[in-house]
Structure 1
Amino acid sequence: MRLPSLLALLGLTALLSAQAQTTGPDGDADAAARRALYAQCGAVEATALPQGVTVGVYRGTLGTQRVTLELTRGGGEQLSEHPDRYSYDRYGLDIALTRGRPTNRTAVYALAAVEAVFTGDGQVARGCLDLSADGTGLRGQWRSPDGRTRLPVTLNRVDAARVPLALPSSPGLLNLRSGDPYTFLKLDRPWQKVTGGLKEPLTGVTYPRVQGGSAALNAALQDLQLKLVTSAFDCRGGYGTNLQNGTDFTGSGTLSWQSASLVSLHEDAQYFCGGAHPDAYTSGVTLSARTGRPVALAAQPGAVWPALNAPKLQALYLAAYPSGGDTADCRDLLASAEGRAGDPLPYELYLTRAGLAVWPNFLPHVALVCAEVVTVPYAKLRALANPAGASFRDLYPR
């Protein structure tokens, strides 16, 4: 079970819900709360950017700290976009900005953005950004709502396409540079070497690289790490909406199999992104050692074990599931109809030296304690394998 791809959207939805116009008995109260939020910064709500200020990514300084800021087409009003946001380069955590304009209506060229967070008392302003266009950049100040702290802000527009790559070129990195330049600028920095791989320095997410492996394979591993790092940023920052609640994300990839034709690994993450409880998942990834492309292990034509479908996997999983102790409730859940569903396959799979590792990805959060990784020996799977497959001799040399 991967970290839900809608994690970012859910965090954004929470922010937009607090800003959105509503109808009915609570509409007046919501509007009053929004007005009070903007009033803390001497501003009123606005969706359009002021004259001279354009959408895009900007880099520069806030006080003495390096920062990156993004202004979007809708300021976050469109669910397909992030809200306006910025981050300190040394941390990389997003801080959401709600767009406004100064109460003084004659200041048509000024953007008054509110740095808002949720607390037990609702949404409050933590900082106020007053920005105006200055050539192709932005100039102004960050100030606390009480005005006691004021820091100069100097930002210059950045064309990410002209920024040299600090990481090896890969499809995912190039897609980030063109499609999400703000995130690209956060991630495109040298990563730390660790045993067997690399660690992204801001999130601590580690992922393997294959010594002597093809450029395509290691590019694919980098792109998988980029996705995991982006999930970590989304979770830990929460788009600035709930920073005080201790959100956290720890993730890594671990190489478990390497042969002439296949590389396999498992991805593990533990996270708390708001809500009632923390969560976790394990995900299996198997790639072609030559091309870096994903290789299917089961339940479809061309897979390593094309005849290994969900019902057979469920039977093999239950046979290898740890016995002893109070496992009856877990076995009932694992033997349920969800474990026999076929599309998508309700198990994460990856190769190990001992056999095929299987992890159930269909269990609800409250039952994750039952989700053990079990290993099915390759000998038990031989009759289900494709003997003409490119990887058959790697798994069954004799």
Structure 2
Amino acid sequence: MKSLRLLSLLCCAVLAPLASAAEPAEVWRGTVGALPVAMSLSRGDGAEVYGQYFYLKHLRDLELQGKRDGQGLHLEVRSRDDAVTERWELSEKDGALEGQWRAGKRTLPVRLQRVDAEALRAGRDGERYRRAGDDVSAFDALRIGELNLEKAKTQQFQGHRLQWWREPRTGVELFTVETGLDEPARARVNRILSQRLWHTAIDALQCTSAANSEFDLTVTPRLFDRRFLSLSLMTSYYCGGAHPDFGDSPLTIDVREGRELALEDVLWLGKGAPPRRTGPGDYDSPGYKRLDQYRESTLVPWTIKTLAGLHPREMMPPKGDDEDGCDYSDPGVWGTSIWYLTPDGLYLGPYFARVARACEYPDWSLVPWKLVEQHPGPALK
């Protein structure tokens, strides 16, 4: 998914190293003075610890860094110019963290209890914490539990009525399906749509934790028929750093099976079953390596040849003196293509480096259905 651009930007905002996948972050919740908070802490090198916390009133992250020793936890919050703005001195006893928070001359007591993700989702209010799916951390599940939706507009689209929902604290909007599907299919599709809404709300809150930040989502339904629901989710954002950015994270759902599809489910140029990724971050897995090799050796050459046949003028390399030209004949721009489905066929969008970002999302790079159906993936068979 193209949300990788946003996710990588958010990850880069964390100055500390990544936690080991085998050692999940500790999640705590409790109070600073009388104010409810949630905290996530991970181990770094040696005694180093790092993480984030948010006030349940605001839900936006403040970055923590420090160390853990025999005396307890010693944490700091630093400003963008690296000045210490908060200090935390905590000791752990019987599954609780207790101590003091200090900012300038102000001091408040701290008491936190460790959060068990399974117990959180199985508890009395567990449904609220499950809304974004079980792959969401307990830290973000706590954040999601504080959010609510309000009804927005209704829309008729290709024979289906869509009910739009707005999350008011982030402004994120997405729809669910009200008519045009039987009840079991509608429930499966709406679960995927709702989880995408909550995941996007998490992204928005993480992004807007930075000063002077912005996050704007535009959702455009592209196709809704008896087989597929396909939509674009274009995000424009500034999460701190040197420049604002934008990117589309399209979503295509198999309406019959109620699952999100990969490009290889629709267009498959290989033999046998398409390789699968096991999850985000599995770049060393055999499935991902096979998929990466397939895209480089098979998908990219086919894409360039097919689009050159359909759109020869647009696919011509820019002339030598045209430094601002868009080179759609470059294999490097098609390996991680944006894609979604339309009534006319499969849209494939290139991915350019930042300096050529204006070359992205051309309106002509569409492969007609008659060509796609010559190379059907499992979802087309």
The TM-score normalised by the length of structure 2 is 0.69
Contact kept? 1:299, 1:308, Cα under 8 Å: no
Contact kept? 1:267, 1:282, Cα under 8 Å: yes
TM-fit CA distance, 1:130: 2.4
SS in 1 for 2:249: strand
SS in 1 for 2:269: coil
- Alpha carbons of structure 1 residues 288 and 260: separation in structure 2 relative to 1, 3 Å: same
Contact kept? 2:92, 2:98, Cα under 8 Å: yes
**Aligned counterpart for 2:340 among listed residues 341, 350, 373:** 350
SS in 1 for 2:221: strand
TM-fit CA distance, 1:90: 2.4
Hey, what's the Cα distance between the residues in 2 that align with 1:200 and 1:312? 41
Hey, what's the Cα distance between the residues in 2 that align with 1:389 and 1:206? 31
SS in 2 for 1:182: helix
Structure 1 equivalent of residue 354 of structure 2: 365
Contact kept? 1:284, 1:349, Cα under 8 Å: yes
Confirm whether residue 136 of structure 1 aligns to residue 95 of structure 2. Answer: yes
Hey, what's the Cα distance between the residues in 2 that align with 1:82 and 1:208? 40
Contact kept? 1:57, 1:181, Cα under 8 Å: yes
1:277-334 deviation per Cα after TM superposition (whole angstroms, max 9, x unaligned): 211112332210122323334353589xx9973431355466679xxxxxx6665422
- Alpha carbons of structure 1 residues 230 and 309: separation in structure 2 relative to 1, 3 Å: same
Gaps of 5+ in 1: 18-54, 103-107, 238-242, 322-327, 394-398
Contact kept? 1:90, 1:202, Cα under 8 Å: no
Identity %: 23
Hey, what's the Cα distance between the residues in 2 that align with 1:186 and 1:332? 42
Q: Which has the higher strand share?
A: 2
For 2:75, the aligned partner's letter is: A
Contact kept? 2:115, 2:138, Cα under 8 Å: no
- Alpha carbons of structure 1 residues 211 and 332: separation in structure 2 relative to 1, 3 Å: same
Hey, what's the Cα distance between the residues in 2 that align with 1:261 and 1:284? 17
Q: Which has the larger radius of gyration?
A: 1
TM-fit CA distance, 1:390: 8.8
- Alpha carbons of structure 1 residues 300 and 387: separation in structure 2 relative to 1, 3 Å: closer
TM-fit CA distance, 1:189: 4.2
TM-fit CA distance, 1:353: 4.3
Structure 1 equivalent of residue 197 of structure 2: 225
Structure 1 equivalent of residue 117 of structure 2: 160
Structure 1 equivalent of residue 332 of structure 2: 338
Q: What are the residue-to-residue correspondences of 1:262-277 with 2, within 5 Å?
A: 262-277=228-243
SS in 1 for 2:170: coil
Hey, what's the Cα distance between the residues in 2 that align with 1:300 and 1:293? 21
The TM-score normalised by the length of structure 1 is 0.66
Structure 1 equivalent of residue 12 of structure 2: 10
- Alpha carbons of structure 1 residues 317 and 6: separation in structure 2 relative to 1, 3 Å: farther
- Alpha carbons of structure 1 residues 218 and 386: separation in structure 2 relative to 1, 3 Å: farther
TM-fit CA distance, 1:161: 1.8
Length, aligned pairs only: 317
**Aligned counterpart for 1:115 among listed residues 77, 84, 96:** 77
Contact kept? 2:54, 2:62, Cα under 8 Å: yes
Contact kept? 2:52, 2:61, Cα under 8 Å: yes
For 1:360, the aligned partner's letter is: P
TM-fit CA distance, 1:162: 2.2
SS in 1 for 2:306: helix
For 2:305, the aligned partner's letter is: P
1:172-224 deviation per Cα after TM superposition (whole angstroms, max 9, x unaligned): 61122xxx211221123453133333334443332332224522222222333
TM-fit CA distance, 1:142: 1.8
Q: What are the residue-to-residue correspondences of 1:176-187 with 2, within 5 Å?
A: 176=136, 180-187=137-144
Confirm whether residue 298 of structure 1 aligns to residue 267 of structure 2. Answer: yes
CA RMSD of the aligned region, Å?
3.7
Hey, what's the Cα distance between the residues in 2 that align with 1:58 and 1:154? 9
TM-fit CA distance, 1:348: 1.7
For 2:4, the aligned partner's letter is: L
Gaps of 5+ in 2: 19-24, 154-162, 275-298, 316-321
Confirm whether residue 62 of structure 1 aligns to residue 32 of structure 2. Answer: yes
Hey, what's the Cα distance between the residues in 1 that align with 2:49 and 2:189? 31
Hey, what's the Cα distance between the residues in 2 that align with 1:330 and 1:293? 40
- Alpha carbons of structure 1 residues 348 and 273: separation in structure 2 relative to 1, 3 Å: same
Structure 1 equivalent of residue 64 of structure 2: 97
Hey, what's the Cα distance between the residues in 1 that align with 2:380 and 2:74? 63
For 2:260, the aligned partner's letter is: P
**Aligned counterpart for 1:173 among listed residues 133, 146, 168:** 133
For 1:153, the aligned partner's letter is: V
Hey, what's the Cα distance between the residues in 2 that align with 1:96 and 1:124? 13
For 1:298, the aligned partner's letter is: L
Hey, what's the Cα distance between the residues in 2 that align with 1:353 and 1:330? 32
- Alpha carbons of structure 1 residues 281 and 314: separation in structure 2 relative to 1, 3 Å: farther
**Aligned counterpart for 2:307 among listed residues 300, 303, 313:** 313
SS in 2 for 1:334: coil
